[in-house]
Each structure stands twice: as C-alpha cells, then as structure tokens.
Amino acid sequence: MSKIPRFFTLLLALAIALGSLAGALSYQRAIAAEWREKVDPWVLQTATEQSQTEFLVFLTEQADLSAAETMKTKDEKGTYVYETLSALAESTQKPILTQLDALNVEYKSFWVANMIWVRGDMSVVQTMAQRADVAHLYANPTVPLEALPESDQEALLNPQAVEWNISMVNADDVWAAGVTGEGAVIGGQDTGYDWDHPALKNHYRGWNGTTANHNYNWFDAIGGNAPCPDPSVPCDDNGHGTHTMGTMVGDDGGTNQIGMAPGAKWIACRNMDQGNGTPTTYSACYQFFIAPTDVSGNNPDPLMAPDVINNSWGCPASEGCTDPNVMQTVVENVVAAGILTAHSAGNSGSSCSSINTPSATYDASFTVGSNTSANIMSSFSSRGPVTVDGSNRMKPDITAPGSNVRSSLPGTGYGSLSGTSMAGPHVAGLTGLLISANPALAGNVTLLEDIMRLTAVPITVNPPQVCGGVSSNTIPNNTYGWGRIDAWAAYQLALAYGAEVVDISKTASAEYVAPGESLTYTINITHSTGLTVTHNVMITDVIPANTTFITATMPHSLNGSTVYWSVPDLDVDESYSVQLVVSVNGDATGVISNDDYAVTGDESGVTFGEPVNTPVIAYGLDVSKTASMPYIFNSAYLTYTLTVTNQHPLALATGLVLTDVIPTGTTFVTATLPHTLNGNTVEWNAASLAAAGVWNVELVVMVNPDASGTVENTDYAVYSDQVSSVSGAIVSTPIETLGVTLYANETAFAAPGETVTYTHTLMNSGSITDTYTLSSVSGEGWTATVNSPVTLGPGENATVTVVLTVPADAVDGTVDTLTVIATSQTRDDVSASVSNTTTVASEPGLMYWFYLPTVVWDE
C-alpha cells in the first residue's frame, strides 16, 4: 500500500518540473521575440545562412539638429551639424564599442547618424539587439548599381559643342549672362571618377593647374581594390560616376560642352565597388560630404563641404534594403548641414509608386525624374507617390533630361547613356549655377529647391497619367513633379532673391490656442515698392510643427507639408491675402510657430515673413468653495457655494462632473438641482462650460447637535473630458457656542418719587464675541432705564446699571419686581436675567416700630 502514494508523488513532481520547463521556454521565446523585432529580416536570414553578416547598429539616441534651421550661413550650419553629430557619437557609443571589442568583431563607428557598422554572427546580432540603447539593426546588403536602360535612336545624334540636354534646360543662356558656376562646389558619390579626364580635370578642386591634392576633395569608401588599388587617388572602376560628373561640370575647353556648371569645382566619394554599394558605403560618403577629410579619413573640416551632392544610385528592397528608412536620418542630417541632395528617381518604369528605393523616397531628398529630348517623360522614369513607407509622399520633385545624354567616360572618351542617373546631375549642376549667381543662396536648401520648382516647365504626358489620385495635368504631380528644370528662369528668380519688393505678413486667429482647436492664419502680401507689375507671384507656407492641415484658400496645392498659392499679377501698392487653417495636435505644448512662409515673384524675388508664435494653453479647471458663515452653531444650517472656472480663455470645457462629500458632523439638507446623492457624495453634471466661464452650485447641510470643533469640507473635485480630476482647498468652519450670564439679584427700599440704581455684572460665557441687548420689565409698570447694547469678547464681563423710578404716588409697602434681561443679538434664544425687588417706604432710610403702652383700665 505504501507504493501508491509514492507513485502519485512522483507524478506530481514530474508535472511541476514540466510546468516549470514550459514556463521557462515561454519566457525565453518572449525574450527572443522582443530582440528579434529590432532586427531587419535580412540580417536574421543572412546570420542564419552564413557564418557572419553585416549590419548597422542604430542607436536610440539621435541628434536634434533643428537649431541649424535658424542659422544664416552654410558654414554655420555645417559646423554646427558636424560638431553636434560627432559629439553625440563620442558620448554615447563608447559602451557599445567596448562590448564589440570584447566580442573581438569588426566594426566601424559613424557620426553622420549615431550608428555603428558591425560584422558578426547571430550571437553578436542578438547581443546588440538586446541592448536598451540600440533602437534597430538595419541590413547592410551589397546593392548592385541599377541597370541603365538601353539607348534608342537619339543616341545617334551627332555630338554638339553644347549638348542638346544642356541647351534644352537653357543652361547656356545662363553662361551667356556671365554665370557658369564660379564659387560653387558640387559633390558626387558614385562608382568613382576619372579625375583627369579632359572634360573634368580643370574643374576638380584638387587640381591647381600644376599639381593634384586629393585631401578634402576625394574619399574612397570602398578602401581601394583592383582596378582601383590606391584609395588616395580618384578612380572609376565602372564609368557610371565619370559620366554623371561630366553632366554636372564637364567642359574640355573645346567642342565638348557637356556640363551644366563648367565654372564650378567638384569633389567626390567612391561608394561602389565595381557597381556594388552598401548602406554603409553610401553613409560613409554622406559623412565625408558634411565634413570632408584628408584621404585617410582624418581631420574632418565642415568648411570644405560641397553645396550640393548628386546621388545616381538606389538601394532596392530586392537587394536587401527591406527597411525603407535605413538612411533617412543620414539624409536628413546632410540637408540640415545646408547641403542639397539630388537623388535619381530610379528606372523602374512608368507605373505609379515605382519610386520605392532609398534615398529617392525621402522628403529630405530632391528627387529627379527623367525626360526625353522631345520633352516627354522617359518610359523608364519611376513615378510616385511613395507608398513603400506608407507616406503617400508626392515624388518626383522635379525632372531633367535623362534619355541618351552624352557625357564623359573613363579615359578620354564620351558616350551616351540613359537613366534617371543621367537626369539627377542636371539638378546638381543647376544648383551650382544658382549659388554662383547669388551666393546668399548657399546653404538654403529649401529655397534652392523652391526656385527650381517654381520655375519648372510642364512636360507633355499624353494621355494624362493619374498616380496617387493626382493627374499629370495638375502641377505638381506624381509623374514629373513640378516639371522640367529651366536654368534661365531659375537664374532670374535666384537673382531676385533679397529684393523684398513684395512684403508678406501673417496673423493668427487667436493669441493663444488649446490642443485640438483649429487655428486660422491669414497671410497678406503687398507690392510695397517698385514701378511695374510683379508677375507670377507665388505664396508658400509650411504647415507648422504639431499641427495638421485642414484647409486653405482655393485654389492651392499641397506638396508634403508645404502649401502653395499661385496669385494673380500684383500691381504696385496692390495687396492680396489667403488663409491657412490647421488643427493643433492633441498633445501639442509650448508654442505653435509658423515661421516658414514666403512670397516670390518674377520681379520681386523671395521675401520671408516674420515668425508668428501662438502659445498653446492647456485646458484647465479650477474649483473653489465658500461657506455662508465664518462660523456655525450646532443644529444650524450651513450653505456651501462651489465655483468651477474654465481656465482656458478660448476653449469650451465639456463633460464636467463636480462632486462633494458631505462633511463629517453634518447632515445633508438640499443642493442645487439637478444633482444625485450617492451615499454621502453629491454629484452635479454639466454638458459644457464656456471659455473663461463660471459654474456655481450650492450644498446645504445641518450641523449635528453633538458636533464639536470644526466642520471641514475636504473632499470636493471636478473633472471634464479634457482635464483630469482637480481638487479644491479645504474649507474649515469652526463650530462656536453662545452664552451669557447676568448676576446678581438685588433688593432696595425707596420712597415715592425716588430713583433706585441697581448694578449687575454681564459676562459673555460663549466662544465668540457677541453683542447683547439689555431690557427691563417692572412688575408694577414703573419706569426703568438700562445701558444697552453691550459687546463682549469670550469670557469678558461688563457692569450693567439699571435705574428704576418709583412713582410719586406709590403706596408705602408696595413691592415691585424689576426683571433685567440680557439677550444675544446673534441668536435671541440665548439670554439671561436677574430680578431686583423694590419696596416703597415713605422714609426708606428708617424703619419705625411703634410700641403703644398697654393701658389697663380699672373699673
């Protein structure tokens, strides 16, 4: 029999063990799932399939570079951005680098974004992903250069001194005006560059006409390998990069005028190894352009940064860039440094939303589509909107020639290539021309982009294409953006920058605003100076941070976060106004700042308005209470008045609930209707309370007969749909007592016609100061006077004098009872009295007894 319990004991132990094991396994699976969520699927897959993989460790803490927006010059912006980014990386990466050293793995630290490139196995992946200071592990795949479309019959066109694509966008007209790009620096990251090509050599910043100095002008992110073994010398192992740079600056001084800005200087970075790049090599080049270094990658100097970077490459998901945000922070940081980043839209064809690879998808990138010599869209040019990241962002921004573009090839030759890779360099070159025409534009990325947008030429699309619900007949659109660049028109607008002949101002509909409310901005422009009409006026306004667009004066267009209004021609002294309506986000705090709005015109240039700051005032309620009396007595009624105030000066408060708990020592009597009484809690409800409005209710209680001390109302509060519970200050009402003592009784004799004075002591035996009314009543109806009223503090006493007049016809022996009464003026049921007895005697000072002799008569 002893075996049966033992058997069940073993079963129980086994069940407990299995349960513990299941719990442990479940916990381990949860932990694994948590860190795996931070890792790009490509990294997990390659770490499983291979002994090692590459990935980018993206730290949680990233730099806030918003202060750069307010800086005036490109040098200021670049220096601030470099110093801020490098300082953050220095201060936050040390613990991770120490751990990587301990793991004995290969890594490279970056500051262009706060991230680290790592090569390691799955255990290293897990170790990095489990760190709290790591936000994400991005893939770092090798990305082949996108295949270029085949050239068509246009490639047979004979070379011209000025190539067709250059003249199509009117760059040669800008040269004729004496502007060829002098003073501007153009950067390019690509397969490399044949720096001493006849069309490029004299435009390379590292060549002074005699010797070459590649420091701060060249960086090889690949590190050098065949056929480019020396990373300190520019080299192109593919030809793609050399072709793009020719379109930017190329000119051999003879018949090969192939570049947009032949007077500009160029610097470069090699980001691909025989056409294969990675997010790491792209990022390394971006970092170089923010603060160029010597050829060994040391001693960065942001003052050597270019004005614009051309990026004729992409990183498709099909090659491993499965996360579209892999380089978003990097690109945004480059733009914050005042560097315009031109990105080719891609060659995925004419279907909608085919712009789907970093970095062309980003809002910070100036994305370029391709057109043909017939001013129609190239069939290979990718279209928007961007859907891969869920943004539905309108792209491309602009278009430029990209079909059969003739440019430089490695060696000394030239050739025609097609692709958006050929279109992007036109925009980089045009940026150089604009900065050369007006150096004040350097570092002002948004303005440079706007100038190119506003002067773009529409492209023929027949039949019209509708992408993202926007027809190509509408400008801008997702087929060609704002249109094909026009260098001459952009140059004229750039020259006008700073003329400020059209003033612009803005007012907000309220001095302050609440979260969730709408805010209406009225923008006014006035042609304040000048002699002629200003044509093609355009108003732009950027939706303020922490707000959401609602509507605007029609007609308008909305591109990303910028609203555009095309205004009729504006005559001298003529004014025009538009409105923008936004909703303040529910979590907004601080100030809504609308500081990025401007007006442009053909003759007036660009004028920016002064910032309009609208404080965000949070919703607030206040509740207070007053008692009807400063003190109270037992069995008396006490009335409380509760006051709720909506502290917001503009916003309605809704769904208000006010509660009050009946004070201890009291009994509920009544309250303002409607109300509910639940136990000892009274509740009132109000559907709404106007801005700065006041809501009053009353509560009446009776102080219990046995209560003592103080009645304290401590628990009352209010809340609403917008505000959590707010309590009021304690209201204390002392329970006081009333009392009076009058003493003592006296007697006296008085003759008819005399007066009798009685003196008594009156004492306040209560707890508060009180005033007493003194009165007297003569039993015989005689006249008496008494000093009244008398005010006494608690415990104080006073002498009360009563004067009684005995009537002249009073009969001896008459006895009068004079009652003196002291009555509280606070409550007439509190009183005291004394009695005075007065006897009438003709001679009140003497008492006579007459003794008659007894006479005995003897008869």
Q: Are 326 and 150 a contacting pair, CB within 8 Å?
A: no
Q: Where are the domains of the chain?
A: 32-62+88-139, 161-496, 502-613, 621-734, 740-840
The answer to whether the peptide bond before residue 649 is cis (omega within 30 degrees of 0) is no
d(C-alpha 63, C-alpha 84), whole Å: 7
Backbone φ, ψ for residue 243 (5° rounding): -65, -45
Q: What is the chain's mean pLDDT, rounded?
A: 91
Question: In three state form, how does the secondary structure of 767-831 look?
Answer: CCCEEEEEEEEECCCCEEEECCCEEECCCCEEEEEEEEECCCCCCCCCEEEEEEEEEECCCCCCE
User: Which band of pLDDT confidence, cut at 50, 70 and 90, is reported for residue 639?
Assistant: very high
Which tens digit of pLDDT belongs to each residue from 264-293? Answer: 999 999 999 999 999 999 999 999 999 999
Q: Which two tokens stand for residue 327?
A: 């380089």
Alpha-carbon distance 271 to 189, whole Å?
6
pLDDT of residue 178: 97
Find out if CATH 2.120.10.30 is the number for domain 740-840: no
| Cβ-Cβ contacts under 8 Å for 735 (sequence gap 6 or more) | 631, 632, 633, 634, 665, 703, 707, 708, 709, 710, 711
Q: Rounded to an integer, what distance in angstroms lies between the CA atom of residue 624 and that of residue 286?
A: 60
Give one DSSP letter per residue of 287-303, joined into a string.
HHHHS---TTS-S--GG
pTM: 0.60
> Residue 764 in 3-state DSSP?
strand
Do domains 502-613 and 740-840 share one topology? The answer is yes
Distance CA 138, CA 56 (A): 5
CATH of 621-734, one of 2.60.40.290, 3.40.50.1820, 2.40.50.100, 2.130.10.10: 2.60.40.290
User: Among all residues, which ones are annotated catalytic?
Assistant: 190, 240, 421
Q: How confident is the model at residue 573 (pLDDT cuts 50, 70, 90)?
A: confident
Pairwise CA distance, residues 103 & 668, whole Å: 74
29, pLDDT greater than 80: no
- Rounded CA-CA distance 135/56 in Å is 11
Task: For residue range 697-735, list pLDDT tens digits in order.
Answer: 999 999 999 999 999 988 999 999 989 999 999 999 999
Q: What is the pLDDT of residue 851?
A: 34
The number of C-alpha atoms within 13 Å of 110 and in the hemisphere containing its C-beta is 30
558-585 burial: b if 16+ Cβ within 10 Å, else e: ebeebbbbebeebeeebebbbebebbbe
Distance spanning both ends of the chain, measured CA to CA: 147
Both tokens assigned to 810: 């009073």
| Helix (H), strand (E) counts: the chain | 13, 49
| 733: three-class secondary structure by DSSP | strand
Q: How high is the pLDDT of residue 528?
A: 83
Strand partners, 805: 755, 783
Secondary structure letter of residue 729 according to DSSP: P
φ and ψ at residue 142, rounded to 5 degrees = -80, 125
CATH of the domain spanning 161-496: 3.40.50.200
How far lies 160's CA from each of 316, 414, 691, 811, in Å? 36, 12, 72, 153
Asked whether the CA dihedral 169, 173, 179, 180 is positive or negative, the reply is positive
| pLDDT score for 568 | 81
218: nearest Cα among 296, 151, 276:
296
Distance CA 231, CA 20 (A): 59
Q: Residue 151: which residues within 8 A CB-CB, separation 6 or more?
A: 403, 404, 416, 417, 418
Which CATH number does 32-62+88-139 carry?
3.30.70
- Look at residue 318 and tell me whether its pLDDT is greater than 90: no
Average pLDDT over residues 648-655: 88
Maximal C-alpha separation, the chain:
196
Rounded CA-CA distance 675/696 in Å is: 13
> Can you name the residues that pair with 470 across neighbouring β-strands?
467
pLDDT in tens, 184-195: 999 999 999 999
Cα gap 695→652, rounded to integer Å:
13
Kindly indicate the confidence band of residue 160, based on its pLDDT and cuts at 50, 70 and 90. Answer: low
What are 368-421's pLDDT values in tens digits? 999 999 999 999 999 999 999 999 999 999 999 999 999 999 999 999 999 999
Burial class (CB in 10 A: 0-12, 13-18, 19+), 399: buried
* CATH code reported for the domain at 502-613: 2.60.40.290
Q: What percent of the chain has pLDDT over 70?
A: 91
**pLDDT reported for residue 618:** 84
pLDDT in tens, 62-118: 999 999 998 989 999 999 999 999 999 999 999 999 999 999 999 999 999 999 999
Torsional sign, CA 564, 569, 570, 576: negative
Give pLDDT, residue 566.
Answer: 94
Separation CA 2–CA 384 (nearest Å): 81
Lowest mean pLDDT among 6-10, 150-154, 457-461, 757-761: 6-10
Higher pLDDT, 530 or 681: 681
**Helix or strand holding residue 687 (H, E):** strand 681-689
The Cα–Cα gap between 777 and 759 comes to 16
Phi, psi of 571 (to 5 degrees): -80, 165
Question: Do 418 and 405 form a contact (C-beta atoms < 8 A)?
Answer: yes
DSSP-based three-state secondary structure for 143: strand
pLDDT of residue 532: 63
Rounded to whole angstroms, how far apart are CA atoms 282 and 117?
12
